Amino acid sequence: MRQSHIIMWMREPSLLVPYCGPDSSGDTLDIYMYLRPETNGVLTESVIMKSIVAETHWKKAVKLVYLANYPGDFVHTRGIIEHHYRLKILYARWGGKAFTAGMRKTFQDRFACEFDVKRVLGAFDALEQLGLDEKQLFEYRVDEPDMLITLGQNIKRYHDYWIVNYDIPAILHRNTYETDIAVMVFRVKLKWSDFLDLMNTMSIHLAKVGILGADNALSRVVHYSKSPWEQLLDGIDYLWGVDVAEGGAEENISFGAYMMNRGCSRETMRNTIRHPLIIYRDASGKEREANIFTLSEGMDYPSAADLLNQVVRPLTLLR
C-alpha cells in the first residue's frame, strides 16, 4: 500500500469516490481515465459525467467506481509520470537508435525513404538540435502522411528530420508540484465499439464548452485505458493504495485479479507490463513485433489473457 512517509509534508490524494474493489469475472472492463494537468477541473469532470448519463444505455452500462484528485507534489515526488511513460521516455531519449528491425522497415515503408538514424531524433535531442521548446515541439502540426505510430511510439516529420515521441517533453514539463490531476475509474459493460461511441460523444461535449479544440483528439484532454494490459499499468500507477513496488497488489486491479484467478503469477504480469515490446506468433504462425498494450487494444479480459500464449520472447531493442 502506498504510504506518505517518504516526505512528511507531501499531500495525499483526495478521495471523492473510494474504490469499491475489483471485478475479476471478466464480464466488465475497468477504464482508467485521468485528466491532463492543463484541463483538470470541475468543468471537465462535469462534462464527462454528463456525457455518460446523457443516454440510458450508457448510464446503465458505465459505473464510476473511483474518483480522486492527485496533488502535483504527490505525483511529482513519486515519479508516477516517469514510471508510467518509461518506454516512451526511453525512445524520446534514444530516437532512431532504439528502433527495432521491424520499426525501421515500417518507417521506410511509410515515408518511402531510407532509414537514417541521424535524422530520426529522440524528442530531447530535437529540442537541442532544432531549437524548439517543449510547447513548440508538441504543437507543431503536420498532415497525417507525415506521422507514424509504430510499437506505440509516436513519430512526426519536421522538415528533413523525424521526431520520436515529440509529446514527452511537454508531458514531463507540465507535471510539476503545482499541477494536480484527477483520476477516475469507470466499470464498463459495453462492447469496445460502443465505448468508443461514448468517447466520441464526450469529445463533442468537451468541444462545445471550449475545453477541447475542434480539430484536437480527446487525448489532448484525457487519457483512458485502451486495453486490459494498459488497465493493469494504469491501476498500478494511479489507483491510490495499489503499488507493485510495495509488495504487490495486482489482485486489487480487476484485470490482475482475473489473471491471478486463472493461475497467472505476479511475476509474469509485472514482466509483461515492464517489457511490453514482444515477438509474438500470429494466427498464421508468423512471428511479428508488437507492443502488448496496443496489440490488446479493445480486447476483453479472456482475449487479452490469451495473448500470453502467443508470446515467443521479449523484443530486444537496438542501440
Class for the domain spanning 14-71+180-257: alpha beta
Q: What share of the chain is helix, strand, coil (3-state, %, to 5)?
A: 45, 20, 35
Look at residues 229, 230, 219, 231 and name the one whose alpha carbon lies nearest to residue 186.
231
Residue ranges, CATH 3.30.70, the chain: 14-71+180-257
Residue 318: predicted pLDDT: 61
Residue 12 DSSP label? P
Mean pLDDT per 10-residue interval, the chain, length 319 residues: 50 88 96 78 85 87 93 86 93 96 96 96 96 93 94 96 96 84 93 93 88 78 93 91 59 95 94 95 96 97 97 83
Residue 44: predicted pLDDT: 85
- How is residue 263 written as a grid cell? 493461475
Query: CA 92, CA 176: separation in Å to the nearest integer?
Result: 19
Residue 99: predicted pLDDT: 96
Q: What is the pLDDT of residues 132-174, one digit of tens each?
A: 999 999 989 899 999 999 999 999 999 999 999 999 999 998 8
Residue 243: predicted pLDDT: 54
Residue 218: predicted pLDDT: 84
Residue 4: predicted pLDDT: 43
Query: CA 184, CA 258: separation in Å to the nearest integer?
Result: 20
